[in-house]
């Protein structure tokens, strides 16, 4: 290969060969001048760039050219910096890393471009984080690399600050959520006491006026409890502590028992509340029915709240979830249509955000904390569904939400089950040890149990319970969890270990909890408890548990 062809063809050079000096000057001087000023402009441009730019001959690993920023980076200036090897120009480990990238790029063929980050000790000794863009080029029959090197100290600092700020904000948010969860949990206990006592008073009060006042206290107490529950749920979701409780359930029974109490509420406003369930909805499904109830109650409650005339209609359909071929998954679509005040188009997305309300005077007069729909959205999303609204302001709204559930094992589809699952009451009187430290809750649970004809002995903590158990026979124990001196879990552990003389270690133990925080239920069962009832005590739940105990007692007597 001769030298000329080696360097490629240049029309100007070809023309100059063989010409005398005069003609060169006359004819080609202006052209040369133009080329020189082009080069100069190009140099000014390169030197004005704040990134360091180096041209490296890959075969010899030497710097061929560089701009001013590159001179600053390697601490040497031209012409000294030109033709020195990368190894002499850069700290050892930096040169090695560049070398690796260069040879990898060279082997992979041309053209190629690569971006990577690394730190380098600068000529003044301090460590500089760099972002390097290496591109490989081929000209003059040689392979070259152009390295564009950017000092990313400021960017890194900003990224680190952002990361720290994010971590601090997340930790503050977690602390806030945990505080909220704890405080609302604490508020629930006395609230349950107040509502329970009012319920007891309602059972005995005969004076109409007193009953009316008590009814108001109960309604206000329940409203307050709802807000506290919302705050508790919201903070638990925010703190990532909310878990679904997946069990088998009857969807028709769930819808029926959720909507019936709401229909009484609607009746007070002269609003009919109607519902229908698609016959295709399976008889039994598996999922968190409590959370579906919560969403349904919130959306239907809103529909009643924001409607003065007309009706509220609920439909439950079975729909096929996209991308899922039948199988074990079933998707239910709930549609709740009202003829109320409606929601302006620009607010129809916003209302699903926390603390968000429509804010018009028509909406404001109904009150509320603006948390219900945000919680509902998070809950349905946890259940693999979504929630949305279609609304015509002044005419009404239709809220839709879907949830994805599993088909319960071995269940037929299409049969309508209308009968409510009424738990049978325990027929035989039971002797019950009630372990509860809070005086009001003691009185409340004791009255509820005694009204059903059971015999109740009270202990105010785990230690006292163990003493009382030793003294006589009991059919079952209702055990509070958090108690001074000895907790319910500790006492259960001792009973289950068989360490209490004369007591059957398998005696039914039912936990009484103010609210099942995440993991509580699993913890209680793991501690050896058989079941739990949450406070305030739900009559149906109580009946279910008592009937289970009665059956157990009967079986062990046979
Ligand atoms: P709130 O406790 O304030 O009702 P939600 O999150 O449940 O909180 O609802 C947020 C807002 O969405 C309500 O304050 C109301 O402005 C609007 N909204 C919800 N449901 C309806 C409805 N069915 N009709 C009209 N407005 C509604």
Among 233, 273, 302, which residue has the most ligand 1 atoms within 8 Å of its CB, making it the best to mutate? 302
Residue 220 CB contacts under 8 Å (≥ 6 apart), including other chains: none
Do 414 and 278 form a contact (C-beta atoms < 8 A)?
Answer: no
CA 147 / ligand 1 centre spacing (Å) = 59
Query: Which among 38-47, 395-404, 515-524 has the top mean pLDDT?
Result: 395-404
Burial tier of 64 (Cβ tally within 10 Å: 0-12, 13-18, 19+)? middle
CA 96 / ligand 1 centre spacing (Å) = 64
Average pLDDT value for residue range 366-378: 80
Give residue 361's pLDDT: 67
Do 357 and 364 form a contact (C-beta atoms < 8 A)?
Answer: yes
CA 199 / ligand 1 centre spacing (Å) = 30
Give residue 399's pLDDT: 98
CB atoms within 10 A of CB 195: 21
Among 370, 374, 391, which residue has the most ligand 1 atoms within 8 Å of its CB, making it the best to mutate? 370
- C-alpha dihedral (138, 141, 142, 144), degrees to nearest 10: -20
Q: H or E segment at 44?
A: helix 29-48
Min mean pLDDT across 60-64, 169-173, 233-237, 457-461 is at 233-237
Min mean pLDDT across 67-76, 246-255, 316-325, 401-410 is at 316-325
Question: DSSP readout, 285-302?
Answer: EEE-HHHHHHHHHHHHHH
Among 230, 266, 303, 368, which residue has the most ligand 1 atoms within 8 Å of its CB, making it the best to mutate? 368
CA 260 / ligand 1 centre spacing (Å) = 21
Cα gap 520→517, rounded to integer Å: 5
Grade residue 369 by pLDDT with cuts at 50, 70 and 90.
Answer: low
Nearest to 292 by CA among 206, 367, 383: 383
Cα gap 245→286, rounded to integer Å: 10
Give the closest residue (by CA) to ligand 1 atom 21. Answer: 302
The pTM of the full predicted model, rounded to 2 decimals, is 0.51
Give residue 332's pLDDT: 96
Question: In the block, which residue shows the tokens 């015509």?
Answer: 392
What is the C-alpha radius of gyration for the chain, rounded to an integer number of angstroms?
A: 39
More confident residue, 524 or 275: 275
Strands 247-249 and 285-287: antiparallel
Cα gap 510→474, rounded to integer Å: 13
CA 125 / ligand 1 centre spacing (Å) = 62
Do 503 and 467 form a contact (C-beta atoms < 8 A)?
Answer: no
**Would the pLDDT of 43 be above 60?**
yes
Give the closest residue (by CA) to ligand 1 atom 25. Answer: 342
Cα gap 496→490, rounded to integer Å: 10
Cα gap 242→223, rounded to integer Å: 22
Do 296 and 259 form a contact (C-beta atoms < 8 A)?
Answer: yes
Grade residue 452 by pLDDT with cuts at 50, 70 and 90.
Answer: confident
Nearest to 89 by CA among 102, 99, 100: 99
Task: Provide the 8-state DSSP code for 390.
Answer: E
pLDDT digits (tens, 9 = 90+) for 132-181: 988 888 888 888 889 999 999 999 999 999 999 999 888 887 787 778 77
Grade residue 21 by pLDDT with cuts at 50, 70 and 90.
Answer: confident
pLDDT digits (tens, 9 = 90+) for 57-108: 888 888 999 999 999 888 888 888 788 888 888 887 778 877 777 776 555 5
Burial tier of 545 (Cβ tally within 10 Å: 0-12, 13-18, 19+)? buried
Average pLDDT value for residue range 324-337: 80
CA 382 / ligand 1 centre spacing (Å) = 21
Min mean pLDDT across 64-73, 255-264, 515-524 is at 515-524
**Would the pLDDT of 6 be above 60?**
no
Q: Which residues line ligand 1 (CB under 6 A)?
A: 298, 302-303, 306, 338, 340-343, 351, 357-358, 363, 368-374, 397
CA–CA distances in Å: residue 88 to residues 61, 63, 76, 131: 10, 10, 11, 21
Residue 430, token pair as written in the block:
């039971």
In the beta sheet, which residues pair with residue 4? none
CA 338 / ligand 1 centre spacing (Å) = 12
Nearest to 485 by CA among 467, 499, 498: 467
CA 383 / ligand 1 centre spacing (Å) = 22
User: If DSSP codes are grouped into helix, strand and coil, which group holds residue 29?
Assistant: helix
Cα gap 41→184, rounded to integer Å: 71
Q: H or E segment at 516?
A: none
Grade residue 422 by pLDDT with cuts at 50, 70 and 90.
Answer: very low
pLDDT digits (tens, 9 = 90+) for 277-304: 999 999 999 998 888 998 999 999 999 9
Nearest-atom index, ligand 1, CA of 363: 16
Give the closest residue (by CA) to ligand 1 atom 18. Answer: 302
Nearest to 438 by CA among 330, 307, 298, 536: 536
Give the closest residue (by CA) to ligand 1 atom 4. Answer: 368
Among 304, 362, 373, 393, which residue has the most ligand 1 atoms within 8 Å of its CB, making it the best to mutate? 373
Residue 385, token pair as written in the block:
């569904």
State the average pLDDT for the chain.
82
Establish how many alpha carbons lie within 13 A of residue 352's alpha carbon, considering only the half-sphere containing its beta carbon: 18
**Would the pLDDT of 274 be above 90?**
yes
Do 472 and 502 form a contact (C-beta atoms < 8 A)?
Answer: no
Burial tier of 510 (Cβ tally within 10 Å: 0-12, 13-18, 19+)? buried
CA 288 / ligand 1 centre spacing (Å) = 24
Burial tier of 555 (Cβ tally within 10 Å: 0-12, 13-18, 19+)? exposed
CA–CA distances in Å: residue 268 to residues 31, 251, 273: 97, 27, 11
Question: In the block, which residue shows the tokens 């969403």?
Answer: 295
CB atoms within 10 A of CB 528: 17
CA 345 / ligand 1 centre spacing (Å) = 14
Nearest to 298 by CA among 358, 258, 260, 253: 258
- Burial letters for 393-408: b for 16+ Cβ neighbours within 10 Å, e otherwise? beebbbbbbbbebebb
Give residue 358's pLDDT: 64
User: If DSSP codes are grouped into helix, strand and coil, which group holds residue 127?
Assistant: strand
Phi, psi of 153, deg, nearest 5: -55, -50
CA–CA distances in Å: residue 70 to residues 74, 117, 503: 6, 17, 85
Give the closest residue (by CA) to ligand 1 atom 20. Answer: 302
Among 351, 361, 387, 397, which residue has the most ligand 1 atoms within 8 Å of its CB, making it the best to mutate? 351
pLDDT digits (tens, 9 = 90+) for 488-513: 999 999 999 998 888 889 999 999 88
User: If DSSP codes are grouped into helix, strand and coil, which group holds residue 359?
Assistant: coil
Give the closest residue (by CA) to ligand 1 atom 2. Answer: 368
């Amino acid at each position: 290969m001769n030298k000329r062809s080696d360097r490629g063809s240049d029309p100007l050079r070809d023309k100059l060969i063989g010409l005398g000096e005069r003609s060169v000057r006359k004819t080609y001087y202006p052209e040369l001048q133009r080329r020189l000023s082009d080069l100069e402009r190009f140099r000014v441009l390169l030197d004005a760039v704040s990134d360091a730019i180096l041209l490296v001959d890959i075969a010899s690993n030497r710097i061929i050219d560089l701009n001013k920023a590159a001179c600053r980076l390697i601490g040497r200036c031209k012409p000294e910096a030109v033709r020195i090897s990368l190894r002499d120009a850069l700290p050892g480990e930096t040169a090695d890393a560049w070398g690796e990238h260069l040879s990898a790029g060279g082997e992979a063929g041309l053209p190629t471009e690569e971006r990577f980050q690394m730190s380098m000790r600068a000529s003044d000794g301090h460590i500089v984080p760099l972002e390097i863009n290496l591109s490989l080029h081929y000209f003059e029959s040689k392979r070259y690399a152009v390295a564009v090197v950017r000092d990313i100290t400021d960017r890194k600092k900003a990224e680190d600050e952002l990361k720290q700020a994010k971590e601090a904000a997340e930790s503050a948010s977690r602390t806030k959520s945990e505080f909220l969860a704890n405080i609302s949990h604490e508020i629930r206990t006395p609230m349950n006491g107040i509502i329970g006592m009012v319920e007891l008073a309602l059972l005995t009060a005969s004076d109409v006026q007193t009953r009316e006042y008590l009814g108001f206290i109960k309604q206000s107490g329940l409203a307050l409890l709802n807000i506290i529950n919302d705050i508790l749920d919201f903070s638990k979701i925010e703190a990532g502590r909310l878990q679904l409780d997946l069990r088998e359930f009857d969807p028709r029974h769930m819808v029926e028992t959720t909507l019936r109490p709401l229909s009484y509420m609607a009746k007070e406003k002269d609003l009919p509340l109607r519902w229908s369930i698609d016959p295709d909805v399976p008889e039994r499904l598996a999922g968190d029915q409590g959370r579906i109830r919560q969403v349904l109650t919130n959306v239907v409650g809103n529909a009643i709240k924001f409607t003065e005339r007309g009706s509220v209609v609920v439909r439950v359909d079975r729909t096929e979830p996209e991308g899922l071929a039948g199988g074990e998954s079933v998707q239910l679509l709930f549609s709740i249509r009202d003829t109320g005040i409606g929601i302006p188009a620009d607010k129809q997305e916003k209302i699903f955000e926390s603390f968000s309300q429509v804010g018009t005077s028509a909406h404001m007069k109904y009150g509320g904390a603006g948390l219900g729909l945000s919680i509902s959205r998070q809950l349905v999303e946890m259940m693999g569904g979504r929630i949305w609204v279609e609304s015509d302001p002044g005419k009404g709204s239709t809220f839709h939400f879907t949830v994805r559930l599993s088909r319960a094992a071995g269940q037929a589809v299409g049969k309508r089950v209308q009968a409510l699952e009424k738990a049978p009451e325990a027929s035989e009187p039971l002797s019950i040890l009630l372990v509860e430290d809070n005086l009001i809750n003691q009185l409340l649970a004791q009255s509820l149990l005694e009204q059903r004809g059971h015999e109740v002995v009270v202990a105010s903590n785990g230690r006292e319970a163990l003493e009382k158990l030793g003294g006589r026979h009991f059919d079952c124990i209702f055990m509070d969890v958090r108690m001074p001196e000895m907790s319910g879990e500790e006492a259960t552990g001792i009973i289950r270990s068989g360490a209490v003389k004369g007591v059957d270690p398998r005696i039914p133990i039912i936990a009484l909890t103010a609210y099942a925080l995440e993991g509580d239920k699993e913890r209680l069962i793991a501690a050896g408890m058989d079941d739990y009832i949450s406070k305030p005590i739900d009559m149906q739940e109580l009946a279910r548990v008592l009937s289970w105990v009665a059956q157990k007692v009967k079986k062990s007597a046979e």
